Amino acid sequence: MSPGVDPRGAAGLVLELDWQSPEAAHREVMYAPADLWGDMLPPRLLDALKGLEDGQSVEMEPTPAESVPGPSQDLVRTVPLEQFAGGALLPRLGRFYPRHLLAGVPGVSPGSTEPFRCLAAELHGLIADLNHPLAGRQLRLKVSVEQAGLPPEKTTGQGVDWMSRLCSGPGMQARAGGKPTDFLGGDALLRDEEVPDAAFYEKPRLVGHLDSQASAHVAALYGELISPGSRVLDLMSSYQSHLPVHLEAAEVKGLGLNLEEMEANPQVDRAVVHDLNQEPTLPFDDESFDALICTVSVEYLTQPREIFLEAARVLRPGGVLAMAFSNRFFPPKAVHLWKELHDFERLGLVLDYFIESGSFNQLASLSQRGWPRPEDDRHYGEYSHSDPIYAVWGSRA
């Protein structure tokens, strides 16, 4: 029998952080190939992990000293607008920006990429919140042992602060004080290349847009959200639906721009060619589906609010809409806003689409990061980590 986790050795851990905002439930998941002797983890967590075997886990509520500092009013600063060095970039309510854009602010390093949040941008100045995005949130941590005896060469290297890494980004998807974030001003939903989508996607792209590990994460999520016997619509579909292989769906319809791609998809029973950016009305009757999924495509929507209302129309009450994406996309066809945002702000944008539609409840978000890139992936050796996965979902009210 394995002796379990040795605090002087290494272990493959899965860190899960759960927290709640007024808008949604949130879960952040990260794989940690940890050198338990040289890396940084809370001492009481290390004590609790000692001797645990593969598949076992421990839960705790980390204190601010073990996770993120509590909120401080001293970190809310009023800064003259002329000291915001964003150039043509205008500070917007609720948005995050790197701290180095605050020129000449005491305590802010000129090269700092840590985020601050804009709480107001008025003539007299910018109100910048330098608190951690998770400051003041009640956090719940679960740590599972995936591999108790991880070989040392599989670790990231000594000195990694795993709680800091886990908490880097989360919190940015929540609204500031419950106020809607100013996402959609200016040319937010325009694109660099306004060639009709039908022309851009005329030739089939029979390549995966996610590596196999990331695809497995998406499939696992969809498997949790979609019940057997469901009628499923795959929005902006291609040759992969990322559904679980053994999902016993009653029917899967694909709606996309390239018929050849969808006909090559073994999970799609019927393919419908339809350009959502040209015509956001879905060609289906009310309450036609139990679940709608959209994978690595929400960033291309130029009329997202209309699409979310249409999604609600064709879903039965209680049906689920799930949007999953990564940090990979076609830049010319992604809307301008998407390219401006931090990955976790993108979660907030998609969450806002759900909220503003007024049609969904039980909202939730998920991030999954840090797994090693599969050796069978064409980018293996170029990138060390698997594609991160971000997702937002909700139920038709």
The predicted pLDDT at position 305 comes to 95
The hierarchical CATH code for the domain 197-396 is 3.40.50.150
Give CA–CA dist 329/363, Å, rounded: 24
pTM for the full model?
0.95
Q: How do the pLDDT tens digits run along the chain, 397 residues long? A: 567 999 999 999 999 999 999 999 999 999 999 999 999 999 999 999 999 999 999 999 999 999 999 999 999 999 998 899 988 788 999 999 999 999 888 889 888 999 999 999 887 789 999 999 999 999 999 999 999 999 988 998 779 999 999 999 999 999 999 999 999 988 999 999 888 888 888 787 767 789 999 999 999 999 999 999 999 999 999 999 999 999 999 999 999 999 999 999 999 999 999 999 999 999 999 999 999 999 999 999 999 999 999 999 999 999 999 999 999 998 999 999 999 999 999 999 999 999 999 999 999 999 999 999 988 887 777 888 999 999 999 999 9
- Distance of alpha carbon 388 from alpha carbon 390, whole angstroms: 7
Parts of the chain belonging to CATH 3.40.50.150 = 197-396
Of 129, 124, 134, residue with least CA distance to 93: 129
- Across 260-298, b (16+ Cβ under 10 Å) vs e yields ebbeebebbeebbebebbeebebebeeebbbbbbbbbbb
Q: Which residue has the tokens 């497995």?
A: 216
Question: Which positions ≥6 away from 56 have C-beta within 8 Å?
Answer: 4, 144, 145
Query: Which residues touch 235 (CB under 8 Å, ≥6 apart)?
Result: 255, 276, 292, 293, 294, 297, 307, 311
Q: Which two tokens stand for residue 74?
A: 């001293």
Beta strands in the chain (DSSP E): 10-20, 25-35, 57-60, 76-79, 96-98, 115-122, 125-129, 140-147, 231-235, 251-256, 270-273, 289-295, 315-325, 360-369, 389-396
